Amino acid sequence: MNIAMIGTGYVGLVTGSCFAETGNDVVCVDIDEAKIEQLRVGTVPLYELGLEELIERNTREGRLSFSTDLAEAVKRAEAVFIAVGTPQVSEGGADLSQVFAVAEDIARAMNGGKIVVTKSTVPVGTAARVREIIEAGTGHPVAVVSNPEFLKEGTAVEDFMKPDRVVLGGEDAAALERLKSLYEPFVPGGNPIILTDSRSAEMSKYAANAMLATKISFINETARLCEKEGADIEQVRRVMGLDHRIGPHFIYPGIGFGGSCLPKDIRAMIAMGGDELEMPLLRAVDRVNETQKDLLLEKVSRHFGEGLAHCTLAVWGLAFKARTDDMREAPALRVVDGLLEAGARVRAFDPEAMGEARKRYGDRIEYGSNNYEVAEGADAVLILTEWNEFRSPDFPRLKELLRQPVLFDGRNLYDPAAMQRHGFVYYSIGRGRG
């Protein structure tokens, strides 16, 4: 199939590259000329495991190309995917201006019947509105299908190549069957391709992310209660996870969730509910998450006192999760901002997010080439991202480097008893008082 992928962010690049990998001819389109030129010479402007190799191979073999010419890409394509940004607006809803602008551009460029696919995360009813816009601007037939993505940053390529499920929502049966055949190579094991109406497809993405966010906020609130009552959240979590109705996934306590999806999507659902529904549960999920981001700052302040001007603090991890360079809504941002506001000297290291950190903080913080370098002479280490590189450090070496043997573990990477044996003052999340 000839495919035009409009938008070259995480979703567009991963989706386009994976389609090319299965033999389709894909052109990825963006208005950013500098980004397109980067991609043409093999420079991928984001970190996603396995993506660079996928782009290099499919570009070399002629199945994947990059362009700023949307009209030409649409003319060549049988299916046009809209994968542009839908940033949060101040009221919490999604800004659909880019989606609708692309729909207008598609209508002007159409030279025959097309399947248009909304891949961006969009509120319920967006596919219908996109169809209206395109039909108003062209005399050619168009079928609009909602195809929400369920990709996790850090494992997005694997998620796309081996999906738990594929959701296709629309009212044109022929278009749905055509797209179903496009996805069939990715589900040889029989994982379902679900055909539904567009509104249900659009809602499914929000509902799935809202449930994941709810599990995280629930376990974080329970962790706070464990600290108050002297219980161990890790033992509680294990008992919960053995109940097949709950399961072990997304019940790991920490300093809250971030990224480009969960925070934005639960706020978009709240906005969709409006005054009529209010969405009290999701409002609480969001509120708990925002509160959780301050938890490590509270522990640091209790240990060192309110003013931190006398402290040098080493930060391990800046991305919102491991295996990505994405710092959007990262809990680390709240922590680092709070440390700076309190007067602390901050040294930071992240295996992939250093470039993004420099864009945000400039010379307000110091940067190291590894986790031990930033710890040298520091009064404490704060672990903010669960990178594998941080899971088994040389504790005797770390203790020797630090001015004080203090660890604030925002991801519960270590065993408290082991940390006591190593001689550290150790703070974690939901494991006793502290």
Residue numbers of the chain with a pLDDT score lower than 70: 433-434
User: Which residues 6+ apart lie within 8 Å of 43 measured at CB?
Assistant: none
DSSP letters spanning 52-104: HHHHHHHHHTTSEEEES-HHHHHHH-SEEEE----PBPTTSSB--HHHHHHHH
Q: Residues 355-385: pLDDT tens digits?
A: 999 999 999 999 999 999 999 999 999 999 9
pTM over 0.85: yes
Q: Residues 346-355: pLDDT tens digits?
A: 999 999 999 9
Share of the chain above pLDDT 90, in %: 97
How distant, in Å, are the alpha carbons of 121, 179, 269, 271 from that of 93?
11, 29, 8, 5
| pLDDT computed for residue 434 by the predictor | 57
Q: DSSP class of residue 87?
A: P
Q: Is 261 marked active-site? A: yes
Element (H, E) at 39: helix 33-40
| pLDDT computed for residue 433 by the predictor | 59
Active-site hit among 28, 226, 261, 311: 261
| pLDDT computed for residue 92 by the predictor | 87
User: In a 3-state reduction of DSSP, which class is residue 334?
Assistant: helix
User: In a 3-state reduction of DSSP, which class is residue 94?
Assistant: strand
Q: Residues 106-133: pLDDT tens digits?
A: 999 999 999 999 999 999 999 999 999 9
Q: What is the mean pLDDT of the chain?
A: 96
Between CA 219 and CA 125 the distance in angstroms is 33
Neighbouring-strand partners of residue 245: none
| pLDDT computed for residue 189 by the predictor | 83
Task: Count Cβ atoms below 10 Å from residue 123 Cβ, excluding itself.
Answer: 19
Strands annotated E in 305-379:
312-316, 345-349, 366-367
Task: Count Cβ atoms below 10 Å from residue 340 Cβ, excluding itself.
Answer: 16
| pLDDT computed for residue 190 by the predictor | 83
